[in-house]
């Protein structure tokens, strides 16, 4: 493979902190890794990417997603619903109508949108593995990631207990016994899991919730099984104040204390949301290096609150950024997510609560650290060349005294080029080999079918 040289960018965000957050110069990529940042003399055979007027940053890392939800955006009955009602009306109503075409289309649309917002790594929390599906969801997700050139951590969800809803017409989410769940996760690990520091395929163990999805003993067993397989541990935690109340009522302690009692803290654990934390929980998360997948858009959309991401970051904890499922976001654009993260903490805590550099660090280096992918997430010599050239040619970016601020401060990112391990996966704003018009038409067909099938039951 020829070397790729990125020339003429306004600057480079490294993903690092403080004085190391920005660098200038051109970038040489050799054999999928960054060889030089700075003065890059021309060499015969170089492939040059023109980044004039653009900003280079590491490929963004979204640490919590539900790709299957990409065909379930904007369901009218749930557009103004809080979490529990939304769960009932959206994922729990629709899951059994998701056929192979629907999941594949959802994964393609979701990953295409992530790539076009500069995101190259996604952790997908997929929790639908019922016997009634005549296809293998994991195979579809990994094949789609491979085709589009994304790194995928499949956080394999599941539950041994489920909530019954107030109408028989809503079929509870599929359950498995713990033994079956562990066997199936073990099979996925042997088929897909690559522990390498620049892995493209990982498995994590990810019960839907630790509090009502499994029993406390099963929760501890899952942690031990995950650690014996050498895989990460992920789940939802403390998304709403109901969640905290339930945990206090049933287990007599707050959620972070509850998971800590059951061996679910540590650098191999990350939780989605963590909106409602008290000071002792923030300190415990920071001390144990347990990660947060901060989802400010989904939390805003569902009215769940604002997670104390800044407090956790200041306490030395690990904060990453994530879009969550598109059914509670109505998009999966990591650029928009960065903008929201930058805005929402300033609205709540003042204009100096969080900087653009903090948001870039959460979305890149911290995300990679939480997913235990130490060779990505930072732009420096020797690191894997997962990166995006953010374009600043839109009128929204004109007039910026410091153009580097554009991709975060001016709103949704537009990308010109994206590389994954030095391979172009977005070229001039388009995904090579993807027929976007066909994909959009297929999406409309899938959405109409899902609406028809759901209407016949609900």
Q: For the CB of residue 103, give the shortest distance to Zn ion in the complex, in Å.
A: 17
Please tell me the chain's helix, strand, coil percentages from 3-state DSSP, rounded to the nearest 5: 40, 20, 40
- Nearest in space to 292 (alpha carbons), one of 205, 363, 217, 345: 363
Q: Which is nearer to Zn ion, 90 or 223 (CB)?
A: 90
CB of 275: closest distance to Zn ion in angstroms?
Answer: 12
Residues in binding contact with Zn ion, number by CB under 5 A: 2
Q: How far is the CB of 445 from Zn ion (least distance, A)?
A: 26
With respect to Zn ion, which residue has the nearer C-beta, 324 or 366? Answer: 324
Q: Which of residues 88-107 bind Zn ion (CB under 5 A)?
A: none
89, 81 in Cβ contact below 8 A?
Answer: yes
Q: Do residues 296 and 344 lie in contact, with contact meaning Cβ atoms separated by under 8 Å?
A: yes
Residue number with CB closer to Zn ion (272 or 418): 272
CB count within 10 Å of CB 331 equals: 18
The 307-326 contact track toward Zn ion, x by CB under 5 A, reads -----------------x--
Which residues within the stretch 349-388 sit at the binding site for Zn ion (CB under 5 A)? none
Binding mask 216-255 for Zn ion (x = CB under 5 A): ----------------------------------------
Minimum distance, C-beta of residue 128 to Zn ion, in the bound complex (Å):
13
Could you say which residues in the range 118-137 bind Zn ion, by CB under 5 A?
Answer: none
Smallest distance, Zn ion to C-beta of residue 125, A:
6
Query: Closest distance between Zn ion and the C-beta of residue 135, in Å?
Result: 22
When the beta carbons of 160 and 297 are compared against Zn ion, the nearer one is 297
Nearer to Zn ion, 313 or 324 (CB): 324
- Kindly identify the residues of this chain, within the stretch 248-287, that bind Zn ion according to CB under 5 A: 272
Measured from the CB atom, the residue of 37 and 237 that comes closer to Zn ion is 237
Of 157 and 422, CB closest to Zn ion: 157
Nearer to Zn ion, 13 or 86 (CB): 86
Report in angstroms how near the CB of residue 433 gets to Zn ion at its nearest: 30
The token pair at 49 is 């990417």
Residues 6 or more apart from 270 whose CB is under 8 A from it? 63, 64, 232, 233, 234, 290, 291, 292, 293, 318, 320, 370, 371
Task: Using alpha carbons, select from 358, 334, 355, 348 the residue that is nearest to residue 275.
Answer: 348
User: In the complex, what is the shortest distance from the CB of residue 272 to Zn ion, in angstroms, rounded to a whole number?
Assistant: 5
- In DSSP notation, 251-293 reads HSS-HHHHHHHTT--STTEEEEE--S--HHHHHHHHHHT-EEE
Judged by beta carbon, residue 10 or residue 244, the one nearer Zn ion is 244
For residue 389, what are the β-bridge partners? 56, 417
Alpha carbons 144 and 333: distance in angstroms, whole number: 18
Q: Is 30 exposed, middle or buried (0-12, 13-18, 19+ CB in 10 A)?
A: middle
CB of 274 to Zn ion, least distance (A): 12
Nearer to Zn ion, 150 or 272 (CB): 272
Q: CB 208 → Zn ion: shortest distance, Å?
A: 9
**Among the listed residues 43, 42, 101, 49, the one whose alpha carbon sits nearest the alpha carbon of residue 70:** 101
Q: Least distance to Zn ion from the beta carbon of 115, Å?
A: 21
The CA-CA-CA angle for residues 200, 274, 351, to 5°, reads: 100
What DSSP assignment string belongs to 306-338?
Answer: ---HHHHHHTT-EEEE----GGGTS---HHHHH
CB closer to Zn ion, 370 vs 426 = 370
Query: Encoding tokens for residue 397?
Result: 């970016």
Looking at residue 171, what DSSP letter applies? P
CB of 325 to Zn ion, least distance (A): 6
Q: Which CB atom, from 275 or from 414, has the smaller least distance to Zn ion?
A: 275
Residue 365 has what DSSP assignment? Answer: I
The whole-angstrom separation of Cα 409 and Cα 314 is: 21
Phi, psi (deg, nearest 5) at residue 36 = -145, 145
**Residues near Zn ion, by CB under 5 A:** 272, 324
């Amino acid at each position: 493979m020829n070397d790729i040289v990125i020339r003429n960018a306004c600057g480079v965000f490294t993903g690092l902190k403080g004085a190391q957050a920005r660098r200038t110069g051109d970038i040489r990529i050799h054999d999928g890794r960054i060889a030089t940042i700075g003065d890059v003399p021309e060499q015969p055979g170089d492939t040059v990417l023109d980044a004039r007027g653009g900003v280079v940053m590491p490929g963004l890392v979204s640490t919590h997603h539900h790709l299957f939800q990409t065909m379930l955006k904007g369901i009218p009955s749930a557009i103004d619903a809080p979490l529990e009602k939304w769960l009932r009306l959206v994922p729990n109503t629709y899951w059994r109508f998701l056929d192979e075409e629907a999941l594949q289309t959802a994964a393609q649309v979701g990953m295409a949108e992530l790539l076009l917002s500069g995101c190259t790594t996604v952790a997908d929390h997929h929790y639908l593995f019922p016997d009634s599906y005549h296809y293998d969801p994991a195979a579809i997700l990994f094949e789609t990631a491979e085709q589009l050139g994304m790194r995928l951590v499949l956080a394999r969800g599941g539950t041994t207990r489920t909530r019954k809803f107030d109408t028989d017409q809503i079929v509870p989410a599929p359950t498995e016994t713990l033994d079956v769940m562990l066997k199936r996760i073990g099979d996925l690990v042997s088929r897909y899991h690559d522990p390498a520091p620049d892995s493209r395929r990982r498995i994590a163990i990810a019960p839907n919730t630790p509090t009502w999805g499994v029993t406390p003993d099963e929760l501890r067993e899952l942690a031990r099984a995950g650690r014996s397989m050498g895989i990460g541990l992920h789940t939802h935690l403390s998304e709403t104040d109901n969640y905290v109340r339930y945990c206090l009522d049933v287990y007599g302690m707050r959620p972070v204390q509850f998971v800590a009692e059951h061996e679910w803290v540590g650098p191999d654990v990350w939780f989605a949301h963590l909106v409602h934390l008290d000071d002792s929980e923030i300190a415990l998360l920071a001390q144990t290096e347990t990660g947060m997948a901060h989802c400010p858009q989904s939390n805003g959309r569902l009215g769940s609150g604002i997670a104390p991401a800044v407090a956790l970051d200041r306490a030395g904890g690990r904060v990453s950024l994530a879009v969550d499922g598109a059914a509670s976001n109505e998009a999966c654009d990591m650029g928009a997510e960065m903008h929201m993260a930058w805005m929402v903490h300033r609205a709540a805590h003042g204009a100096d609560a969080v900087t653009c550099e903090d948001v870039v660090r959460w979305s890149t280096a911290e995300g990679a650290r939480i997913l235990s992918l130490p060779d990505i997430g930072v732009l420096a010599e020797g690191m894997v060349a997962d990166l995006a050239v953010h374009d600043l040619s839109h009128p929204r970016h004109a007039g910026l005294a410091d153009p580097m601020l554009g991709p975060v401060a001016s709103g949704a990112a537009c990308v010109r080029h994206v590389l994954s391990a030095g391979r172009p996966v977005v070229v001039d704003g388009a995904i090579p080999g993807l027929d976007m018009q066909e994909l959009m038409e297929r999406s409309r067909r899938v959405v109409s079918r899902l609406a028809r099938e759901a209407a016949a039951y609900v």
